[in-house]
Structure 1
Amino acid sequence: MHPLFEYTHLDHAPISADLSYSPSSRSVLDRRTHAAIPYDTLDEPATEPALYTQLVLKCELFPWEVVVRPHVSNACLSPTKTARFPFTRRRPITNLDVLCAVYDTLAKCVTDEEWARLGQRSRAQRRVTHAYEQRCIKLGGGWESGVRRIDWLDGRTRLVGIGMTPSKNGVASGTATLVFKTPA
């Protein structure tokens, strides 16, 4: 993983991204200085070596996988600059791609099936309901859109790193674990 996200139990990543909000200079901060992470850093490849297809992220706090794919670049001029035609550059998955994919996954409304899997009137449903209420109070609205996947985090909406799954025989698995904490 990029040093921005690299997280171990002994060495914590410098990122602090509150995913209650879409990724921006106000929500993606350096955890030590509280300054915005520069765009140049967010545009760097998220992994070493760079991945060009997908990165699968998991978290023990929710049942969904987050599949990160690279953002496709805009159409470009042909190399001769005499004719315009769209083609895409092969881009690696960037740090910003990771943040956007996690945000987009967590911003989705919970389906009836996902809600039912928690168990009717279960402790888990009460916990998620409480997180939903606290999120709506914090954001000053959003009640009408219902429970979102971010509510599964029970208030732990600050992404503080990503732990890579150990590789097998020197080959990276392409799967990583998201680490969340409660905002300060």
Structure 2
Amino acid sequence: MHPLFDYTHLDHAPISCDLAYPPSTRSILDRRTRITIDDETLDEPATEPALYTQLVLKCELFPWDVVVRPDASGPCPPPAKSARHPFTRRRPITNRDVLFAVYDALAERATPEEWADLGPRSRAQRRISHAYEQRCVKLGGGWEAGVRRIDWLDGRTRLVGIGLKDGSASVTPTLIFKTPA
């Protein structure tokens, strides 16, 4: 992962982005200095080597994968030409793409299947309902939109990095969230 997201238990990533709000110059900060992360850094490839198709991220706080594609953050500078296909313009997945893909995934309304999978009147449903209520109170509205996937985070909406966890077959990039300060 890019050093912006590289998180270990000993060395925390510099990123601090509250994904309760759309990623912007006000919300994408260096956690130590509280200064905005510059556009140049946000437009750098999110991985080494760079990925051009998709990046799959996981999180222990919710059951779905976040799939990041190179177009997640919308319009961007023209991509570099591919060495294998010199007439095809491609661009890698950027740090900005990661932030927008995670934000978009969390902003989605919870599906009836996701809600049912928690178990009827389960502790998880009560916890997520409470997080939904807290979010709506904090934002001064949004009740009519219903439970969103961000409510699975139970208020831990600040992305502080991506850790690499060893799995049985590969290394899995895992999103790390904390409670906003």
Q: TM-score when scaled to structure 2?
A: 0.88
User: What SS does the aligned partner of 2:163 have?
Assistant: strand
Offset at 1:42? 0.4
8 A Cα contact 1:56 1:174, kept in partner: no
CA distance in 2, matches of 1:168, 1:119: 29
Query: Residue deviations 1:60-111, cap 9 Å, x none?
Result: 00001001111286797xxxxxxxxxx8621000000000000000000001
Q: 1:75 to 1:157 in 2, by over 3 A?
A: closer
Listed as ranges, the matches of 1:104-183 within 5 Å are 104-166=104-166, 173=170, 175-183=172-180
Give the number of equivalent residue pairs.
171
8 A Cα contact 1:25 1:37, kept in partner: yes
Residue aligning to 1:22: 22
Q: TM-score when scaled to structure 1?
A: 0.87
CA distance in 1, matches of 2:36, 2:88: 30
Offset at 1:140? 1.1
User: What SS does the aligned partner of 1:45 have?
Assistant: coil
Offset at 1:164? 2.1
Q: 1:112 to 1:43 in 2, by over 3 A?
A: same
8 A Cα contact 1:157 1:180, kept in partner: yes
8 A Cα contact 1:75 1:88, kept in partner: no
| Larger Rg over CA atoms | 1
| Root mean square deviation of aligned Cα | 2.1
Gaps of 5+ in 1: 77-86
Q: 1:120 to 1:96 in 2, by over 3 A?
A: same
Off by >3 Å, runs of 4+ in structure 1: 72-76, 165-169
Identity among equivalent positions (%) equals 76
Offset at 1:18? 0.3
8 A Cα contact 1:22 1:100, kept in partner: yes
CA distance in 2, matches of 1:30, 1:74: 22
Offset at 1:168? 8.9
Q: Which amino acid aligns with 2:17?
A: A
